Amino acid sequence: MMNEILSKIRKYIKEKKYEEAFNILENAEKKNILCPELLILKARILQLSNFGEYDLTDIEKIYKRALLIDENYINTLIEIGYFYYAVLDNNKLAEKYFKKALRKCKKQMTEIVIGLTKCKEEYSIENALNFLENVRFQTLEFSKLDDLKKNLKE
């Protein structure tokens, strides 16, 4: 059910039918169907649209509500980080949330790499060692980081 709701909302957002997407969100909330991803989408809709009596404080509360549901949900940490950085111009708070997201990702990425290495080891130890040697290039999008570095130097 949740995937169906999320799918409909994303479809409406993509089509810029924000009011329809928002109505689905409101109905889900009334039925006490909630998850951080729904709240992230609600905050995004309010930032992209011009309807309703919402201000930036309300959007901030929505992100914080998502964190109350799951304080470790990486997507919420990233979204609220960008909200503080780009919308509220609060680099200090943005950095706090980005750092927490990075710590969580680092732990998760490490567990993923360990799991994949063990899978590769089933084929051969050499396969596992080759994977470990090359995994650094598979975990970050270096082209985006290179573009960022280039932009910083300009």
CA dist 66 and 137 (Å) reads 32
59-110 confidence digits (pLDDT tens): 999 999 999 999 999 999 999 999 999 999 999 999 999 999 999 999 999 9
Please choose, from the candidates 92, 15, 82, 72, the residue with its C-alpha nearest in 3D space to the C-alpha of residue 47: 82
* Residue 29: both structure tokens together: 């909330």
pLDDT tier at 139, thresholds 50, 70, 90 = confident
**Residue 12 near residue 20, CB atoms below 8 Å:** yes
CA dist 142 and 39 (Å) reads 30
C-alpha torsion sign, points 114, 117, 122, 125: negative
CA distances in angstroms from 120 to 48, 112, 123, 130, 131, listed in the order given? 44, 12, 5, 9, 8
2-60 confidence digits (pLDDT tens): 899 999 999 999 999 999 999 999 999 999 999 999 999 999 999 988 767 889 999 99
> Which residue in this structure is represented by tokens 């995004």?
44
Phi first, then psi: give them for residue 34, nearest 5 degrees: -140, 145
Which of helix, strand or coil describes residue 42? Answer: helix
Please choose, from the candidates 44, 129, 101, the residue with its C-alpha nearest in 3D space to the C-alpha of residue 25: 44
What distance lies between CA 11 and its chain's CA centroid?
18
pTM value is 0.84
